Structure 1
Amino acid sequence: MIGRLSGILLEKNPPQLLVDCGGVGYEVDVPMSTFYNLPGTGEKVVLLTHLAVREDAHLLYGFGTAGERDVFKQLIKISGIGARTALAILSGMSVADLAQAITLQEAGRLTRIPGIGKKTAERLLLELKGKLGADLGAAGGLQQHDTTSDILNALLALGYSDKEAMLAMKQVPAGSGVSEGIKLALKALSKG
């Protein structure tokens, strides 16, 4: 398995790169999040990689961070999610945004990514719940996200749209309790 490439960046043709490693040119597909952070052509580049071996091809995918590669591996394990779709997801949102969408079970954020429909978004939320969203808890943010999720769900239950609820959530200071947060969000909604 090829886990890392270090070499000279020869070509950049989104989403594909050509990296020269000791005289061998590797074609590597990368998400746009990695692509935008690449050095110029002719400069040294280091990519973490995932090699996908198929019956008809050996495909190499590159990532700027270990987090992106880990999420990519989680995504391609899901039935119906191929490498192209996983790259589109990572190109459409950061790992942190994806983890937050999974934790808060926000299918609407996923459906904004080209190629992700409602059913696919719901499958992603179901399959990744507890796998990707749990990473936020390890960083100490789980309690805050539970509170945010409770406030958001309360607003949705009261009949507010996703957009209205998310706008109101921006008015709620971090660290607010659930009941206080609901009051502040409702106050913000009544002004709007």
Structure 2
Amino acid sequence: MIGSLRGRLLRVDEGIALIEVSGTGYEVEMPESSLNEIGKPDSEVFVYIHHSVREDAHVLYGFSDYTARALFRVLIKVSGIGPKTALAALSTFDVPSFVAAVLQEQVNSLIRIPGVGKKSAERMIVELKDRLGRFNSESPSSAAKAKNSGSQAVFDEAVSALVNLGYRESDAVRAVSQEAGDGMDTGAIVVAALKLLSKK
């Protein structure tokens, strides 16, 4: 089984990175967050791999860090959550923000993941809540930021405001999760999130 790849990034197309290792090109499906972190075409990249063997294909899923791969492996064990939805979850949230959303039972945040409705989000919370403790402890400072998101209504309003300003919903969710703090109103969260997004 393939556990990681180090090689030259040839191209990225619709969520798939083509990585050349010793003359062989490997197509690797990756979440948007990892694709944004690994580098530009023609650069050397390193990715952690989850190697899925099916009857009709061998599929490689890649991640920029070990924790993201570990969370992906937990997610695909949830009833009704396949690799496509797990990748979408990791494209919408970073690991600490996703963990915080599950532990705080933020259904309205989780349904922002493409392919996840209210029932799927509720099932995700039930099945994952007891499994995510180690992820929470691995990133305490980031998780703490995500947990301080204030009321769900304020969180949703801030995300909606950023989307209306033209930002992608996945970027808006990540920015609000990272910047929101106790006692902050919607306007303050939006301003802080805009500062973060402007640095990208």
If the TM-score is normalised by the length of the shorter chain, which range does it land in? 0.7 to 0.9
TM-score after normalising by structure 1:
0.74
Q: Which residue of 2 aligns with 1:78?
A: 78
Q: 1:111 to 1:37 in 2, by over 3 A?
A: same
Q: Which residue of 1 aligns with 2:130?
A: 130
Q: Which residue of 2 aligns with 1:163?
A: 153
Counterpart code for 2:30: V
Counterpart code for 2:93: M
What is the correspondence of 1:173-192 to structure 2 with a 5 Å cutoff?
none
Higher Cα Rg, which structure:
1
Q: Is the Cα contact below 8 Å between 1:5 and 1:46 reproduced in 2?
A: yes
Report percent identity of matched pairs: 38
Q: Distance in 1 between matches of 2:89 and 2:62?
A: 14
Q: Which residue of 2 aligns with 1:22?
A: 22
Q: 1:36 to 1:138 in 2, by over 3 A?
A: closer
Q: Which residue of 2 aligns with 1:58?
A: 58
- Unmatched segments (≥5 aa) in structure 2: 158-179, 186-200
Q: Distance in 2 between matches of 1:85 and 1:138?
A: 23
Q: Which residue of 2 aligns with 1:32?
A: 32
Q: Distance in 1 between matches of 2:61 and 2:16?
A: 9
Q: Distance in 2 between matches of 1:165 and 1:7?
A: 40
Q: Distance in 1 between matches of 2:140 and 2:38?
A: 31
Q: Which residue of 2 aligns with 1:4?
A: 4
User: What do the CA deviations read for 1:85-137 (whole angstroms, capped 9, x no partner)?
Assistant: 10001001111100001111111110012211001101110111021145325
Q: Which residue of 2 aligns with 1:156?
A: none
CA shift for structure 1 position 38: 2.4
Q: Distance in 1 between matches of 2:156 and 2:41?
A: 41
Larger RCO, structures 1/2 (Cα 8 Å, 6+ apart): 2
Q: Distance in 2 between matches of 1:166 and 1:51?
A: 36
Q: Distance in 1 between matches of 2:182 and 2:85?
A: 34
CA shift for structure 1 position 67: 0.9
| SS of corresponding position for 1:126 | helix
Q: Distance in 2 between matches of 1:97 and 1:14?
A: 24
| SS of corresponding position for 1:51 | strand
CA shift for structure 1 position 25: 0.7
CA shift for structure 1 position 84: 0.6
Q: Distance in 1 between matches of 2:56 and 2:154?
A: 48
Q: 1:4 to 1:164 in 2, by over 3 A?
A: closer
User: What do the CA deviations read for 1:58-106 (whole angstroms, capped 9, x no partner)?
Assistant: 1000000111100100001111111111000100111110000111111
- Unmatched segments (≥5 aa) in structure 1: 153-161, 174-184, 186-192
Q: Does 1:90 align with 2:90?
A: yes
| SS of corresponding position for 1:81 | coil
Q: Distance in 2 between matches of 1:51 and 1:74?
A: 14
CA shift for structure 1 position 14: 2.6
CA shift for structure 1 position 164: 4.9
Q: Which residue of 1 aligns with 2:163?
A: none
